[in-house]
Chain A
Amino acid sequence: MLRFLLRKEFKQIFRNKTLLPMIFAMPIIQLFILPLAADYEMKDISVAIIDHDHSVYSQKLTSKIAASGYFNITAYPKSFNDAFEFIENDKVDLILEIPLNFEQELIVVKGQKLFIAVNAINGVKASLGVAYLNRIIADFNTNVRLQCIHPERFNIVPTIRVTSSNWFNPVMNYRYFMVPGILVLLISLVATYMCALNTIREKEMGTIEQINVTPIKRTLFILGKLIPFWVIGLLVFSFGLFIVARFIYGIVPVGSIILLFGYLSVYLIAMLGLGLLISTYCETQQQVMFITFFFMMVFILMSGIFTSIESMPAWAYIIAKCSPVTYFIDVIRMVILKGSGLGDIQYHFLMMLGFAILFNLWAILNYKKTM
């Protein structure tokens, strides 16, 4: 019996001339575009420098900032009030104020203070901007001390220098980190939406009524819905991983491909189950779209793709832990970048197995043949 159901589903999917290209083309296009846009690095931070000193040193500092590549010095206002106007008009993200007698006091009187004001509307930009600027100033400071201060006056203060090396992503290429994550999101979208919409269509057309009076077991009917989209999910993922990620972004998985696909298989079953579950609670395509969209928003923003879930507040952390997407994003990064083995993702595997069983069992129970 399953054979007939599968033949029907595949024929319907491949006959749908609008849906089929969308299933394949949309994730691929998005995989091309999204990682380029989702850039963590801050460039072109606008700075206004108020230079009250007009000395060689203040010039040196200014050119060091300009040369760093992170900043755009957009204005040299005369006073802080002028500079503040730039911030108010959103022309400038940062103000650096260099006080009068900066050079003199830096050399003669051991130290000097600089003032930084930040436009913190964009929190990430503000904190990164300050961090970059601090580093440049610290670096400048060290140079000043080495060059200009008389060696005899120079107290050798023991300082701790931290050297870090980036493991698993040595050049800190954020794309290595983002592309697998985005691939997971796209797969989730295809699986959940397609499965939910396909099932709700049968409800809307009334064909489900015809199926319900036949002796088909509900488990079998649900399997007939799961398997085709499971296969399509695997295909889309393979294309994304082996073609787009590899040839466009140069990502070659370090870990086992078999392990990754093994996990993907279970993950797809869980997400398809979620799609089915949604469709059993809905009556129309609009309802499905709306509810799935709600879940997708939560998945996109709370699954650790853009922000680390460990730094979320406790309640948000719990929500993130309830999202299957969180686990797969973790696993795909571990396997692709770090080469983690089955032992490392044991916990993730069990959780996903739990999700798959929960969603599908719930969907089967809720898919009532008798009302």
Chain B
Amino acid sequence: MNEVVIKTDKLTKRFGDFTAVDNITFDVSQSEIFGFLGANGAGKTTAMRMLCGLSTPTSGDAIIAGFDVYNQTENIKKNIGYMSQKFSLYEDLTVIENIHLFGGIYGLDNYQLKNKTDELIEKLGLQGERNKLVASLPLGWKQKLAFSVAILHQPKIVFLDEPTGGVDPITRRQFWKLIYDAANQGITIFVTTHYMDEAEYCNRVSIMVDGKIEALDTPVKLKQMFSAKSMDDVFLRLARKAQRTSD
């Protein structure tokens, strides 16, 4: 059994009298691809922000890569990668400049930067686009680039918040190939998505409804449990119970 890299215990976040994340408890092991599903407004993004050290929990505990989310957020940040829903590279910098910026921020030296950059460019087939502004790339390429930049510093965990939103099916498949490659390198993948075919690619899946985790298991077992044909059915059954309106 691999080492546990994300461990939460009754993690809760309240905004006034609204409980966005309600007592969630789960573990994620190293190299696992963990699908974090839920309807819009179920509390996924809030939960993820707490795990990244962007938001302080109201109560409960979470240990990320061996560090506490209350007072070791700086250590957490050194050991994670993050790719947000909104596209998060600098559009007015070139491909190379973005790679150098984020590599530099994570403390790679010039030699490492050069190697990593060449490796990454070749892997993504961006040789012709090295010096083009990121703004000029198609969305699918931007997302692949953003993911590659997020794991440039070999983090223990990478958090992906709806990374494939608005991307065509072919590119989504390529994107998931990158995710598998990263997992094979020992990077833990924590991913949210609304595409149920992608949920099938995950090792384990949790489904959040109204701030609580309603189900958590492998896709095969979840389908058995709900005697459903696909993850789509599982998701619909659980998400229909939601009281909250989506945001």
Contact = CB atoms under 8 A, between A and B. Distances in A.
A197 to B, nearest CB: 14
Given A4-B101, A213-B80, A213-B82, A206 B54 contact: no
A209 B88 CA distance: 8
Interface in A183-225: 205-207, 209-216
Interface stretch (B92-100, B116-124, B191-199, B234-242): B92-100
Interface residues of B, number: 29
B84 A370 contact: no
B90 interface: yes
Contact of A206 (B84, B92, B100, B107): B84
Interface string B53-89: 1111000000000000000011001101010101111
Given A1-B107, A12-B92, A207-B89, A213 B101 contact: no
Interface in A332-371: 369-371
A210 B86 CA distance: 10
Grouping DSSP codes into helix (H, G, I), strand (E, B) and loop, the B interface class, with mixed when no group exceeds half, is loop
B100 A205 contact: no
Interface in A1-35: 1, 3-5, 7-8, 11-12, 15-16
A30 to B, nearest CB: 27
A1 B87 contact: no
A8 B134 CA distance: 14
Interface in A263-290: none
Contacts of A8: 90, 93, 97, 101
Contacts of B56: 370-371
A285 B73 CA distance: 30
Contacts, number: 71
Nearest to B100: A4
Interface string B152-195: 00000001000000000000000000000000000000000000
Contact of B102 (A16, A205, A206, A214): A214
A11 B107 contact: no
Given A4-B104, A4-B105, A215-B78, A370 B86 contact: no
A133 B74 CA distance: 74
B105 A214 contact: yes
Contacts of A206: 84, 86-88
A369 B54 CA distance: 6
A210 B88 contact: yes
Interface in A292-346: none
B53 A370 contact: yes
Most buried by B among A1, A3, A209: A209
B91 interface: yes
A213 B106 CA distance: 11
Given A206-B88, A213-B82, A370 B55 contact: yes
A212 B97 contact: no
Contacts of B101: 4-5, 7-8
Nearest to A13: B92
A201 to B, nearest CB: 10
B202 interface: no
Contacts of A214: 77, 102, 105-106
Contacts of A5: 101, 105
B52 interface: yes
Contacts of A1: 104-105, 107
Interface string B35-58: 000000000000000001111100
A3 B104 contact: yes
B54 A15 contact: no
A209 B104 contact: no
Interface string B103-135: 011110000000000000000000000000000
Contact of B88 (A11, A207, A370): A207
A12 B105 contact: no
B92 A207 contact: no
Contacts of B104: 1, 3-4
Nearest to B55: A371
Given A213-B52, A216-B105, A370-B54, A12 B90 contact: yes
Nearest to A202: B90
B98 to A, nearest CB: 9
B73 A209 contact: no
Contacts of B102: 214
Nearest to A4: B104
Contacts of A369: 54, 73
A195 to B, nearest CB: 17
Contact of B54 (A3, A207, A209): A209
B84 A209 contact: yes
Contact of A205 (B55, B91, B97, B107): B91
Nearest to A8: B101
8 contacts: A1-B107, A12-B90, A207-B88, A207-B90, A209-B86, A210-B84, A213-B77, A213-B80
Given A206-B87, A215-B74, 10 more contacts: A4-B104, A207-B89, A213-B52, A213-B54, A213-B80, A214-B77, A215-B78, A215-B105, A370-B54, A370-B56
CB-CB nearest 9 A-B residue pairs: A4-B104, A206-B86, A210-B88, A213-B82, A215-B77, A215-B78, A214-B105, A8-B101, A209-B84
